[in-house]
Amino acid sequence: MKRITLQVLALLSATVLFAGCSGFVASNQPRFREVLLQGEGRDKILMIDIWGPISNEPLFVPQLGLIPGMTARIRQELEIAYADPLIRGVMLRINSPGGTITDSDIIYHSLMEFKKSKRVKIVASLGDLAASGAVYVAMAADEVYAHPTTLTGSIGVIMPHMDYSGLMKKLGIKVDPVTSGRFKDIDSPYRPRTDEETAMLKKIVDQFHEKFIKVIETGRAKMTSEQVREIADGRLLTADEAKERGLIDGIGYLDFVYNRISEISGFPENRLIRYTNVWITGNNIYSNTFPIELIGN
């Protein structure tokens, strides 16, 4: 069955936990690089990017190797940050149409466990697009802000399906699979779904949708369940609409969000940093296992 996704399709062309794990550090001696973005002082605010589709699919770079997927990369950044006593807060910079429900949930869970165990604040800044699974991830933040031109929302779950049966009939192509049960090919693109199959899959989608709603209710404590459900129908919202409905705390640029995390972290004098080369710090529980790895790693 295809993966269930939380994303805007029209805009797209371990169990080790932090909680209770004192001394939790990256599995290998890190070889990452810390990049200063702005500010000065001893204490640090870490900026983490949620950029592009939310997935743990690795990216192959010729002559370099496989760069781990987003889920593994964010876990690695959090492990590095957990081991650094000078990290005082996290700023999420989100620009994403969403992604798979599982990876969205893993990243959300990792951020929540990190925040709880590290006892730091997280603030999210929504960029050009922060939809569906990106909203799910943003709910781990203590405060959420959007750029004036942000599109957000699309709160919902989709299970994609295509039916090629009409075309195959015209071409004289017949598919006759042998299955162990009548629902084994429930997601087959070679025949229409039955009403019974559609009802079965709709039940699954609705269950995941309810989970999504609960995550938003937890993250936006000032919103009532009715207010969340009013906008949990897949609609996109402008920044102004999201602010009016309570999905975000305010509208502002990155500088404003950095000042805000500096304020609520309790460390107004700090350095805003990001990590680079985190994919050569070693493996973590969400790292992909492939026969090809980074050259020299």
* Residue 160 Rama label (left phi>0; alpha psi -120 to 50; beta): beta
Q: For residue 184, indicate whether it is catalytic.
A: yes
Alpha carbon separation from 111 to 48, 70, 192, 250, 288 (Å, rounded): 11, 13, 40, 21, 20
Residues paired with 123 in a beta bridge:
91, 143
Residue 171 CB partners (closer than 8 Å, separation 6+): none
Contact between 189 and 166 under an 8 Å Cβ cutoff? The reply is no
Nearest to 294 by CA among 25, 119, 65: 65
* Given 104, 110, 132, 262, the catalytic residue: 132
* Given 2, 116, 169, 184, the catalytic residue: 184
Q: For residue 170, indicate whether it is catalytic.
A: no
Contact between 159 and 206 under an 8 Å Cβ cutoff? The reply is no
Q: Which residues are identified as catalytic?
A: 132, 184
